[in-house]
Structure 1
Amino acid sequence: MVTANQEMVVYCFDTLVAHYNGDQPPPPSFEDGQHPLFVTWKKVVNGGEPRLRGCIGSLEARGLIKGFRDYALTSALRDRRFPPIEARELPQLECTVSILTNYETANDYLDWEVGKHGIIIEFSDPDYNTRRSATYLPEVAAHEGWTVIEAIDSLIRKAGCNSRITESLRKSIHLTRYQSTLFTMHYGEYVSYVKQARGEAPSVVGAKLPS
């Protein structure tokens, strides 16, 4: 089984740095393959808790190389919840890549474990008679300290449903659970990696970055 690794995160940082420089990223040093994947960017300010700056990916299998290249930029620049990440923010960024595995249909909305499973919910919005869906990666509920029900209710809202959340609505959910492997790297670690592997630190035109 392919697992998330350091080289995948390096490629995401390479892709974002190349975007700011108007270049092409160096070729990746991991093998291609077909897997569902996500790229998450967070920003660390003054040593505080990392704050989400973008997270987008695919629940369907994608080519790893093209997938990480596409989603590194999409999550950094086109996550509609946040303004685009600017080059000057690079030194404060950390990147996490996730490869999703072990998709299973749950028996009901309670049939999953916080900290172990990511979840995909699909349901009909009772107020609008429209189908809605949303997902949380496995680390989200544990990070927020949610119970199973709190996570489900939050995900119902994330899906765009403003109807009253009832037990009947929860029971109508079709839930798919999954697991993931992930790897996280801060920009400073990326710089150290590039120095050691390529002999010089990355640079970005017009941005003052640590060398």
Structure 2
Amino acid sequence: MAVYCFDTLVAHYSGDQPPPPAFEEGIHPLFVTWKKATNGSEPRLRGCIGTLEARQILTGFKEYALTSALRDRRFPPIQSKELPYLECTVSILTEYETAVNHLDWEVGKHGLIIEFTDPDYNMRRSATYYLRCLPMKVGRT
């Protein structure tokens, strides 16, 4: 799945279609994370966007590979010259459950979704941390 996301980004810059994926279709919430390492440094976040709503993973990974690389508002768009320095991690979210209290989770085992209403703007906000996922990292050289 991470290879497919990488192929999707490479195809974006080459103007080609990515090769067909080597994974089965499914319906899950998902995230695509890009990190960049240069000169032997620790990889740093370069983009991460996904959805908490279940999506067809084939179209979801294709869409979020590009969205997280090119439209994460926290970072400038990834440029083609950065491709050799990138790592991609994909996350498929599973087994949601409501916590009994704020301590009802384990670091390294569970993810955390925080939802609240911003009292200053009366807007619903949410954030996701350490996803419980099936990770796979892929880097290109």
Cα deviation digits, residues 57-82 of structure 1 (max 9, x gap): 11111111101100100000000000
Aligned match of 1:37: 30
SS of corresponding position for 2:93: strand
Aligned match of 2:5: 12
Task: Pick the aligned partner of 2:72 from 49, 71, 79.
Answer: 79
Q: Which structure's residues are more often helix, by fraction?
A: 1
**Shift in Å, 1:90:** 0.5
Q: Which has the larger radius of gyration?
A: 1
SS of corresponding position for 1:181: coil
Aligned match of 2:107: 114
The CA distance in 2 between the partners of 1:115 and 1:107, in whole Å, is 18
Residue identity matched to 1:181? L
Task: Pick the aligned partner of 1:180 from 118, 130, 133.
Answer: 133
Aligned match of 2:84: 91
Give the CA RMSD over aligned residues.
Answer: 1.2
Q: Which runs of 5 or more residues in structure 2 are unaligned?
A: none
1:28 aligns with 2:21: yes
Deviates more, 1:94-103 or 1:108-117: 108-117
Residue identity matched to 1:184? K
Q: Which runs of 5 or more residues in structure 1 are unaligned?
A: 1-7, 139-178, 189-211
Aligned match of 2:93: 100
Residue identity matched to 1:186? G
Residue identity matched to 1:180? C
1:64 aligns with 2:17: no
The CA distance in 1 between the partners of 2:117 and 2:71, in whole Å, is 27
SS of corresponding position for 2:96: strand
The CA distance in 2 between the partners of 1:127 and 1:58, in whole Å, is 25
The CA distance in 1 between the partners of 2:123 and 2:49, in whole Å, is 23
Indicate conservation of the 8 Å contact 2:108/2:130, yes or no.
Answer: no
SS of corresponding position for 1:103: coil
Cα deviation digits, residues 89-122 of structure 1 (max 9, x gap): 0010000011111101001222111121111111
Q: Where does 1:45-64 land on structure 2 (aligned, <5 Å)?
A: 45-64=38-57
Residue identity matched to 1:69? K
TM-score (norm 2): 0.94
1:137 aligns with 2:126: no
Residue identity matched to 1:58? T
Equivalent pairs, count: 141
**Shift in Å, 1:128:** 3.9
